[in-house]
Amino acid sequence: MVNKRIFLDHASTTPVRPEVIELISEAYQRFIGNPSSLHRFGQESRRALEEAREKIAGLLGCHPDELFFTSGGTEANNMAIKGVARALSEKGTHLVATAVEHHSVLDACRSLEREGFSISLVPVDSYGRIVIEAFREALTPQTILASVMHGQNEVGTLEPVSEIGEIARSFGVPLHSDAVQTVGRIPVLVDTLGVDLLSLSSHKFGGPKGVGALYVRRGTPCFPLIHGGNQEEGRRPGTENLAGILGMARALELSMLELEDGDRRLHMLRTRFIQLLRESVPRARVNGHPSLFLQGIISVTLPGVPAEEVLICLDQEGIAASAGAACVSGALEPSHVLLSMGLTRKEAEATIRISPGKENDVEDVEVVIRKIRGIVLRTGPSFVPPP
Amino acid sequence: MGIYLDHAATTPVLPEAAQMLAEASLRGFGNPSSIHIRGQMAREAMDEARQVTAKALGCLADEIVFTSGGTEANSLALIGACLARQDSGRHLVISAVEHESVRNTAHFLETLGFRVTEIPVDPAGLVDPGDIARALTPETILISVMTVNNIIGTVQPVTEISELARKRKILFHTDAVQAFPNMLVEPGSLGVDLLSLSSHKFRGPKGMGVLYVRKGTPLVPLVRGGHQENGLRAGTENLPGIMALALAIKRSRENLEKAETELRRLRNLLAEDILANLDHVKLNGHSERAAPHIAHFSVDFTDGESLVRNMDHEGVIVSAGSACSSEEGKTSHVLEAIGQSGPLARGTVRFSLSRETTEQEVRDASAVFRNVVVRLRSASAAGRFA
């Protein structure tokens, strides 16, 4: 039997918007020149590139010259962490991040340990939210960078970035925020958040893969990660992926236009999902903050039911969900995020992430709940009430 | 639309590849790292693209690392190899005419405590393998010499240098961004450990590149945070881009030998036509070891920027040098290395052809060039004597 395929893994990646694909295809025909070339073909490309930069800068509330295009969120995070650390290494060699950062932030920090830097990971509470006092205590006169993500990718908790920003500022420490999960999903304004650096990734909001950006506040020192020509003011060399950048700009623009409607729809889907889940699997637990969360990320622990089994069964039914971050799935390591929140190893291994998006409807939610209930029934029927 | 002769800067995306990219994006594979079926489909498509790419280069699929471009490939090769081998020594050798992405990466490595030796070139832009041999020390861990120079098109003696490197157990990287698709590039027969390619130079999409990493070559990743690309390059894979790259590389490899011969014929025709009709013009680069697609000239009594703009005005797109450094307004390090500096290096122009270039286009471009040079020279002479 062929089921309708249901994609509930938008935190991992989103389908590219058809309008964006069309724009990219047009761009390949229209913009032939290298934006760095002096001739007309090059200058046309350059203008389109700068328009895209202005558009995105407008949506983030920053200056166009504070925005550097990268090959994605991972590169943006690597560039922010390594770039600032290396640029400020004479001032100090200590970095602070939360324990629940994405691997691209954590691994970038760890690789710096070999260059003589030290890292403090600030604990989170049981909701996955950074403990603000612990953050304050982690700062030392040696601290040169703090990195606190905006929306947690596995449990959806929103971190108090603006509060952290104020503290960081009072200590004179630049703050980076990995906003890969929030840009295009909720309003993200760099000044409201009070950040000095911010990473975003195009394929999380209906844009093409292989494109992202790093915001770097004017005056914030940041060395390049990749070295070469003068593109992006020498801070991110390499011939620009113009078509991809135009696609990202359009995708972000469209996402922001649909933000309110989209948020309302996702809220409705989420509420329905959790309500049905409570009814059909009462022992299931929803992780993350009860009020400060991203609508599109639902982390569910099904005690006693291995996540891997659930995901494979769902997959066979044509439903895509995830155990946590796609970037580590297959690694079979229990999530560092869930463990940091105080879940046991067993609980962490029984946790799945459902992330609905734009094209999902209530029926999708109902189908997935029925399937989850079936799987739980097979695994531990005594806990499930009769329908 | 005019005559586009700036293929060394970038090439138009192959319509077939653009279409594949659009279709793959529409199909929406999912994230190759996800365990669900869509993730698996994505992984299968990735594997296929990797195999196609490997076949075009005559190497193994797991020797291919997809990057965000030639610049990242070069940065990864140099930084990755040096950090991986730093316990054996901290000295690297590059040529004086490398692309900025190799040169500036080497300078960055100096700030990390590595020592860099730049090997000079002769007036034709050629590196002498003997000079490299003399620069090697027991501390040397990496040599990086480009396959084809991006400004003047000189083809470097990569096989000779790789033999040298192998004997001394030194890693050897070559930036082959300008070589492919205009010449056969096979890391195996070149004998290199690391080789960089850029997709948009062979009609693939921009924002994509390839680093060939010979099996067993130690490398530390540059971008971290996931196990993608064998742990050598983290980040959700740009699958549609990779599929389009694979198609473009496959098409480029088809009939490459024949295309190279024709390309060379047209390039020589262009050079002869220009030299026969204009005085005080010099063809730069090496007379025998010349890339089939690049013709770079020094034109006395003119400046490169005026040449480019005036030719553009007449519908012929060429470049004054490399696009990557075109905004600097200073003499290119390549021209300095071949002994052309100051006013002499000002009037330079690079024509770069592709296998789609026709004989008629070459003849027309040459005629436009002749007119523009004559006009600019008389204007500047008039200015001088006014």
User: Looking at the predicted structure, is the pLDDT value of residue B383 above 80?
Assistant: no
Catalytic residues of A: 327
Average confidence (pLDDT) over B250-277: 97
Task: Please tell me which residue of chain B has the smallest CA distance to A22.
Answer: B22
Average confidence (pLDDT) over B305-314: 94
Regarding whether B359 and B337 lie in a shared domain, the answer is: yes
Contacts of B31 (CB under 8 A, 6+ apart): A9, A12, A13, A326, B39, B42, B236
Regarding whether B178 and B285 lie in a shared domain, the answer is: no
**What's the complex ipTM?**
0.89
Q: Say which of B235, B311, B322 has its CB closest to residue A75.
A: B235
- Structural domain contains residue B303: yes
Regarding whether B305 and B177 lie in a shared domain, the answer is: no
Q: At which residue do the structure tokens 């204009």 appear?
A: B278
Distance (Å, whole) CA B380 – CA B373 = 10
Distance (Å, whole) CA B41 – CA A320 = 12
Looking up residue B270, the CATH number of its domain turns out to be 3.90.1150.10
> Cβ of A239 and B71 within 8 Å?
yes
Phi then psi for residue B375, to 5 deg, are -65, -50
Interface of B with A in 250-309 (CB under 8 A): 305, 308-309
User: Looking at the predicted structure, is the pLDDT value of residue B1 above 70?
Assistant: no
Interface of B with A in 340-359 (CB under 8 A): none
Q: State the smallest CA–CA distance between residue A290 and chain B in angstroms.
A: 27
Average confidence (pLDDT) over B214-226: 93
A386: pLDDT confidence band, cut at 50, 70 and 90? low
Distance (Å, whole) CA B33 – CA B256 = 35
**Interface check A42 vs B, CB under 8 A:** yes
Interface of B with A in 40-59 (CB under 8 A): none
Regarding whether B284 and B241 lie in a shared domain, the answer is: no
Q: State the smallest CA–CA distance between residue A363 and chain B in angstroms.
A: 20
> How high is the pLDDT of residue A233?
87
Regarding whether B315 and B213 lie in a shared domain, the answer is: no
Q: State the smallest CA–CA distance between residue A271 and chain B in angstroms.
A: 25
**Interface check B104 vs A, CB under 8 A:** yes
Regarding whether B122 and B39 lie in a shared domain, the answer is: yes
On the CB side of B125, CA atoms within 13 Å amount to: 29
Distance (Å, whole) CA A272 – CA A32 = 48
Average confidence (pLDDT) over B322-342: 73
Regarding whether B300 and B162 lie in a shared domain, the answer is: no
Q: How far is CA B219 from CA A107, B76, B85, B231, B259, in A?
A: 16, 8, 8, 10, 35
Phi then psi for residue A155, to 5 deg, are -115, -10
Task: Please tell me which residue of chain A has the smallest CA distance to B305.
Answer: A38
SS3 B43: helix
Distance (Å, whole) CA A198 – CA B262 = 50
Average confidence (pLDDT) over B303-311: 92
By residue count, chain A amounts to: 387
Of the ranges A53-62, A190-199, B21-30, B336-345, which one carries the lowest mean pLDDT score? B336-345
When mean pLDDT is compared over A3-17, A321-335, B99-113, the highest value belongs to B99-113
Residues of chain A in contact with residue B86, where contact means CB-CB under 8 angstroms, are none
| pLDDT tens-digit map of B137-195 | 999 999 999 999 999 999 999 999 999 999 999 999 999 999 999 999 999 999 999 99
Question: DSSP states of A278-303 as a string?
Answer: HHH-TT-EEES-SSSB-TT-EEEE-T
Residues of chain A in contact with residue B43, where contact means CB-CB under 8 angstroms, are none
B276: pLDDT confidence band, cut at 50, 70 and 90? very high
Count: domains in chain B:
2
Regarding whether B337 and B296 lie in a shared domain, the answer is: yes
Distance (Å, whole) CA B270 – CA B364 = 10
Q: Which domains does chain A have, with CATH numbers?
A: 6-15+259-383 (3.90.1150.10), 18-257 (3.40.640.10)
> Cβ of A228 and B234 within 8 Å?
no
A324: pLDDT confidence band, cut at 50, 70 and 90? low
Residues of chain B in contact with residue A108, where contact means CB-CB under 8 angstroms, are 224-225
> How high is the pLDDT of residue B385?
54
Tokens of A102: 């994405």
Q: Say which of A78, A208, A312 has its CB closest to residue B224.
A: A78
Distance (Å, whole) CA B185 – CA A33 = 25
A1: pLDDT confidence band, cut at 50, 70 and 90? very low
Residues of chain A in contact with residue B303, where contact means CB-CB under 8 angstroms, are none
Q: Say which of A28, A39, A103 has its CB closest to residue B226.
A: A103
> How high is the pLDDT of residue B384?
61
Distance (Å, whole) CA B180 – CA B187 = 12
**Interface check B71 vs A, CB under 8 A:** yes
Average confidence (pLDDT) over A29-53: 94
Average confidence (pLDDT) over A33-61: 95
Interface of A with B in 100-159 (CB under 8 A): 102-108, 110-111, 115
- Asked if residue A175 lies in contact with residue A165, where contact means CB atoms within 8 angstroms, the answer is yes
Regarding whether B260 and B249 lie in a shared domain, the answer is: no
Regarding whether B58 and B35 lie in a shared domain, the answer is: yes
User: Looking at the predicted structure, is the pLDDT value of residue B239 above 80?
Assistant: yes
Query: By residue range, what is the domain housing residue B181?
Result: 15-253
- Asked if residue A8 lies in contact with residue A355, where contact means CB atoms within 8 angstroms, the answer is yes
Beta strands in B147-239 (DSSP E): 171-175, 194-198, 209-213
Domain-terminating residue out of B253, B272, B301: B253
- Structural domain contains residue B194: yes
Task: Please tell me which residue of chain B has the smallest CA distance to A235.
Answer: B104
Q: In the predicted model, what is the mean pLDDT of chain A?
A: 93
> Cβ of A318 and B37 within 8 Å?
yes
Cα–Cα–Cα angle for B355, B345, B71, nearest 5°? 50
> How high is the pLDDT of residue A331?
52
- Structural domain contains residue B386: no
- Structural domain contains residue B185: yes
Interface test with A, best of B21, B25, B103, B303 (most A CBs within 10 A): B25
**Interface check B241 vs A, CB under 8 A:** yes
Task: Please tell me which residue of chain B has the smallest CA distance to A115.
Answer: B112
Domain-terminating residue out of B202, B235, B253: B253
> How high is the pLDDT of residue A382?
54
**Interface check B33 vs A, CB under 8 A:** yes
User: Looking at the predicted structure, is the pLDDT value of residue A384 above 80?
Assistant: no
| pLDDT tens-digit map of B27-43 | 876 677 777 777 788 88
Distance (Å, whole) CA A174 – CA B56 = 46
Q: How far is CA B154 from CA A146, A384, B179, in A?
A: 47, 74, 10
**Interface check B6 vs A, CB under 8 A:** yes
> How high is the pLDDT of residue B281?
95
- Structural domain contains residue B346: yes
| pLDDT tens-digit map of A86-107 | 999 999 999 999 999 999 999 9
- Asked if residue B192 lies in contact with residue B158, where contact means CB atoms within 8 angstroms, the answer is yes
Q: In the predicted model, what is the mean pLDDT of chain B?
A: 93
Average confidence (pLDDT) over A50-77: 98
Residues of chain A in contact with residue B33, where contact means CB-CB under 8 angstroms, are 12, 326-330
Looking up residue B80, the CATH number of its domain turns out to be 3.40.640.10
> Cβ of B100 and A228 within 8 Å?
yes
User: Looking at the predicted structure, is the pLDDT value of residue A381 above 90?
Assistant: no
User: Looking at the predicted structure, is the pLDDT value of residue B11 above 80?
Assistant: yes
> Cβ of B99 and A228 within 8 Å?
yes
Task: Please tell me which residue of chain B has the smallest CA distance to A111.
Answer: B224
Regarding whether B73 and B24 lie in a shared domain, the answer is: yes
> How high is the pLDDT of residue A333?
77
Domain-terminating residue out of B226, B253, B280: B253
Residue B324 bears catalytic tag: yes
Tell me which of B275, B324, B344, B367 is the catalytic residue. B324
Phi then psi for residue B2, to 5 deg, are 90, -175
> Cβ of A25 and B228 within 8 Å?
no
Task: Please tell me which residue of chain B has the smallest CA distance to A242.
Answer: B206
Regarding whether B374 and B296 lie in a shared domain, the answer is: yes
**The CA-based dihedral angle spanning residues A216, A220, A226, A232, taken in that order and rounded to the nearest 10 degrees:** 50
- Provide the percentage of residues in chain B whose pLDDT is more than 70: 95
